[in-house]
Amino acid sequence: MQTIAGTIALSDHTTITDIAKRVGLSASTVSRALNDHPDIKEETKNLVRRTAQELHYTPNPMAQSLKSRRTMTIGVIAPEIKHDFFSSAISGIEEVAHQHGYTIIVCQSNESVEREIANVDVLIHYRVAGVVVSISQETKCGEHFQELLRKKIPLVFFDRVCDDVQASKVVIDDERSAFDAVTYLLRKGYTKIAHFAGPQDLRICSKRMQGYVDALLQHGIPMAEDFVRHGGLDEQDGYRSMDALIRDGAMPEAIFAVNDPVAIGAYQRIKEAGLRIPDDIAILGFSNSTIASLVDPPLTSIEQPSFDMGSRSAEILLDIIDGRMTVPRTLVLETKLVVRKSA
């Protein structure tokens, strides 16, 4: 590092102390000048600002967080980001955060409640201004999220929520959306409809299951236990559920899958069996991911507004952070059926 006469040697981390040395003022005066304190003369403020610019000074966010007890950072905890739904929701969160001068830290629980608890601890450690969460498949209670609220860190859930935590939520009507999906299949003439369901303890899955059952009952069709296959939420779960139906010889006319990845897994097994979609068996998914329009035939699916869920969650969080919202609210967004050639 070289020094030029009459100047301070520049480093990657110019501090308020460096500015104070250059202008011959105390560090506290410089700090107040940079923060536009009314007790500091205007010419002093201008001098400090010019010097800060010359020295390429930028505020230290960690130092600011120690002073203010929070950062300009929003924490996001998602089950995973490999599928379109969560990556799109995170994009929505980031877009709103950026517009308001915030950055985001994204944590993956990888569908593990243990890892989710660790994510919460990390975000508390980093003094985030607030947290947006979609819970893991394993999460059955929200005690670890209560710790955020105890520490006065605002919290908003999206899609997958904890009902035992008093926090704002951005969701869809999963039960009604599933009801509409199965009703569509029934109106197209399919009566033997299977459901590839998700984890029974996960609220969105139990609600979609209930919508499936209600649609059948409304049309006078009893639910066949053999046609309901519980599993996870990934492609391999759809593959295994379809494989089980084929091996059992219990072939439905149509399948309503809990989400698009499960539907795509079923696609693979159906094609391996030499069956045709929708001539031999129809499929309807949930979320309307990018892959839905790319498979052959394209997948009929319930469109879930993932980007909007993320952006609205971030907007609510910022309202809480800035004191514009003091009472938790639940926002229910609309879905729609996107009809393609799989049903």
Q: What is residue 67's predicted lDDT score, i.e. its pLDDT?
A: 52
Task: State the Cα–Cα distance between residues 216 and 240, nearest whole angstrom.
Answer: 24
Residues 245 and 251: their CA atoms lie apart, in Å, by 6
User: Residue 304 is encoded by which pair of tokens?
Assistant: 């879930």
What CATH number belongs to 67-171+306-333? Answer: 3.40.50.2300
Residue 9 has a pLDDT of 39
> Who contacts 151 (Cβ-Cβ below 8 Å, separation ≥6)?
124
Tell me how crowded residue 32 is: count the other CB atoms within 10 A of its CB.
Answer: 18
Of the candidates 164, 156, 154, 149, the residue with the CA atom closest to the CA atom of residue 203:
164
CB 247 within 8 A of CB 253: no
pTM metric for this prediction: 0.81
Are the folds of 1-59 and 174-303 the same? no
> pLDDT below 70 — which residues of the chain?
1-12, 60-70
**pLDDT at 239 (0 to 100):** 98
Tell me if 202 sits within 8 A of 171, measured CB to CB.
no
| Buried/exposed code over 298-326 (b: 16+ C-beta within 10 A; e: otherwise) | ebbbbbbbbbbbbbbbbbbbbbbbeeebe
Q: What is the CATH number of domain 1-59?
A: 1.10.260.40
pLDDT in the model for residue 37: 81
**What does the domain layout of the chain look like in residue ranges?**
1-59, 67-171+306-333, 174-303
Coil, helix or strand at residue 133: strand
Count of residues in the chain: 343
Q: How buried is 46 (Cβ within 10 angstroms: 0-12 exposed, 13-18 middle, 19+ buried)?
A: exposed
CATH 1.20.5.510 for domain 174-303: no
Quickly count: other Cβ atoms within 10 Å of residue 126's Cβ. 13
**Cα–Cα distance for residue pair 161/142, rounded to 1 Å:** 9
Of 231, 18, 1, 3, give the one whose Cα is nearest residue 137. 231
pLDDT in tens, 257-304: 999 999 999 999 999 999 999 999 999 999 999 999 999 999 999 999
- As given in the structure block, the two tokens for residue 94 are 């980031």
Q: Distance between CA 309 and CA 90 in Å, rounded?
A: 9
